[in-house]
Structure 1
Amino acid sequence: MFPGATADREVADYVLLGAPLDISTSFEPGTRFGPNRIRRFAGSFDDYDRRTDQFFTDLRVHDAGDVRAWDDAPEYVEWLAGSVRDAVWDDAVPVVIGGEHTVTAAGVTGVDPDVFVCLDAHLDLRRAYDGNEWSHATVTRRVLDELGVDEAVILGARTGSPDEWERAAADDVTVVEPEAVPDWEPAFDGDQSVYLSVDIDAADPAFAPGTGTTEPFGLTSREMRDVVRAVAPHADGFDVVEVNDRDDGQAASLAAKLLREFVFAHAAGRS
């Protein structure tokens, strides 16, 4: 269980779902261990958040455990999306803990947002990677072209193929390169639904080496925190993905802290 996620499912305002999918990682696998590793490294955090004057244990967070993964990505994403949708129908905010970035398609399907905001080192706008249309490197393309999202904002991207950069030049995509992220501010319409996804590789590897496809010259942990704080009050769903077991807990600790920052900022924004 994620530390402090002690609320009963029936009264929860936030429902955590582990999604340990790990079938398309293109460099260093291990995201199947991500959900429980994130839970483990959240164990040292204080319950109280001074900035928002809230206790995590008061915010009615429920950890529903892991949705067991198997090796058919489309079927698994469809199944996971059902669990996300159940949380939405119960007026709770779904929080998906990955697992590879492919699972974000389930979060987006369940929430059905207008705007997709993603912290990511990669554009993830490929149609396929190594012949696999369900690769983690295709998730943002799928969100835009198949799942009905009107707009994607990709923060921290610093690499992509020529075809991806061409797709990123379309009117429905905004790419904010790492140097510009500290000055970025969300500008959503009041009636727009937003989904926030955090690929931990948006961070510079100095902060989060435990991920499958590290990319230097990335964001600091504080810059990622500030984005999560800014977007959370507008968001109807959240995920943090691509944590593996290839470091001493740096990536998992950052992911766990960003998850908590999302909950604190979202709850404060509603009060």
Structure 2
Amino acid sequence: MLPGATADREDAAYVVVGAPLDVSTSFQPGTRFGPDRVRQFARTFEDYDHRTDESFSALGVHDAGDVHAWDDTAEYLDYLRGTVTDVVWDDAVPLLVGGEHTVSVAGVRAVEPDVFVALDAHLDLREEYDGNPLSHSTVTRHALDTAEEAYVVGARSGSEAEWERAREADVTVVEPDEVGSWSPSFDGEVYLSVDVDAADPAFAPGTGTPEPGGLSSRAMRRLVRDIAPAASAFDIVEVNDRDDGQAAVLGAKLLREFVFAHADSA
């Protein structure tokens, strides 16, 4: 259980759902261990947050455990979508913990946001990757089947075709050098997805496709805090077991920062 996620399911304002999918990772696998790693490395945090004068355990967070993953990605995403939809129907905010980034597709389909915001090193706008249309490299494209627009914040990698697609009106790319001066502002309901590889590998080496030149953990914390009030769902994805916990502790911290900031804005 995520430390502090002590609320009963029926009383919860936020529901953690683990999604340990690890099928399409193209370099370093291990995202199946992501949900457990995030829970494990959250144990170090104080319950109290001085910025909001709140305790995490008092904010109505429930940990629903993991939705066991299997190899049929399309089938798994349909099932996971149903689980997240149940959270939405109960008027709670889903907190999805991956697993590879593909699990965000299920979250977006359940929430049906107006805007998809991804903190991500990669554009994820491919039609397919290695013949697979349901890959971690296709997430933003799939999100645009539901959302009206997408923001990819921290992006620094993509194919020529992806960068061309990103120039269309429904996609905004905020590159790492622009993040410090960017002020998030959105029209409509937001789904916030955090791929931990948005961070520079110096901060989070335990991820499937690390990409140098990324964001600092402090910059990611600021972004999550700023976007949380506009968001109705959150996920943290692409944490694996290939480091000493740096990626997991960052992921756990950002999840908590989202909850504190979101609850403070209510």
Unaligned runs of at least 5 residues, structure 1: none
Show CA shifts across 1:7-66 (max 9, x none).
Answer: 000000000000000000000000000000000000010000000110000000000000
Task: Give 2:233's match in structure 1, choosing from 234, 237, 247.
Answer: 237
Question: 2:150 is matched with which residue?
Answer: 152
Taking the TM superposition and a 5 Å limit, the aligned residue runs for 1:110-125 are 110-125=110-125
Taking the TM superposition and a 5 Å limit, the aligned residue runs for 1:98-247 are 98-144=98-144, 146=145, 148-189=146-187, 192-247=188-243
Q: Please state how far the C-alpha of 1:126 moved relative to its aligned partner.
A: 0.3
Which whole-Å CA distance do the structure 1 matches of 2:39 and 2:181 have between them? 31
Q: Please state how far the C-alpha of 1:187 moved relative to its aligned partner.
A: 1.4
Taking the TM superposition and a 5 Å limit, the aligned residue runs for 1:28-43 are 28-43=28-43
Matched, 1:258 2:254: yes
* Residue identity opposite 1:164 in structure 2: E
SS at match of 1:96: strand
Q: Please state how far the C-alpha of 1:184 moved relative to its aligned partner.
A: 1.1
Matched, 1:66 2:70: no
* Residue identity opposite 2:89 in structure 1: W
SS at match of 2:43: coil
Show CA shifts across 1:97-116 (max 9, x none).
Answer: 00000000011011100000
Q: Please state how far the C-alpha of 1:267 moved relative to its aligned partner.
A: 0.1
Which whole-Å CA distance do the structure 1 matches of 2:181 and 2:66 have between them? 36
Show CA shifts across 1:81-123 (max 9, x none).
Answer: 1111100000000000000000000110111000001000000
Which whole-Å CA distance do the structure 1 matches of 2:183 and 2:63 have between them? 31
SS at match of 2:131: coil
Q: Please state how far the C-alpha of 1:182 moved relative to its aligned partner.
A: 1.4
SS at match of 1:43: helix
SS at match of 1:85: helix
Taking the TM superposition and a 5 Å limit, the aligned residue runs for 1:5-44 are 5-44=5-44
SS at match of 1:3: coil
Which whole-Å CA distance do the structure 2 matches of 1:218 and 1:175 have between them? 14
Which whole-Å CA distance do the structure 2 matches of 1:135 and 1:119 have between them? 17
* Residue identity opposite 1:74 in structure 2: A
Q: Please state how far the C-alpha of 1:132 moved relative to its aligned partner.
A: 0.7
Which whole-Å CA distance do the structure 2 matches of 1:118 and 1:79 have between them? 23
Unaligned runs of at least 5 residues, structure 2: none
Q: Please state how far the C-alpha of 1:177 moved relative to its aligned partner.
A: 0.3
* Residue identity opposite 2:183 in structure 1: E
TM-score computed with the length of structure 1 as normaliser: 0.98
Which whole-Å CA distance do the structure 2 matches of 1:26 and 1:73 have between them? 15
Give RMSD over aligned pairs: 0.5
TM-score computed with the length of structure 2 as normaliser: 0.99
Number of positions where the alignment pairs a residue of Structure 1 with one of Structure 2: 266
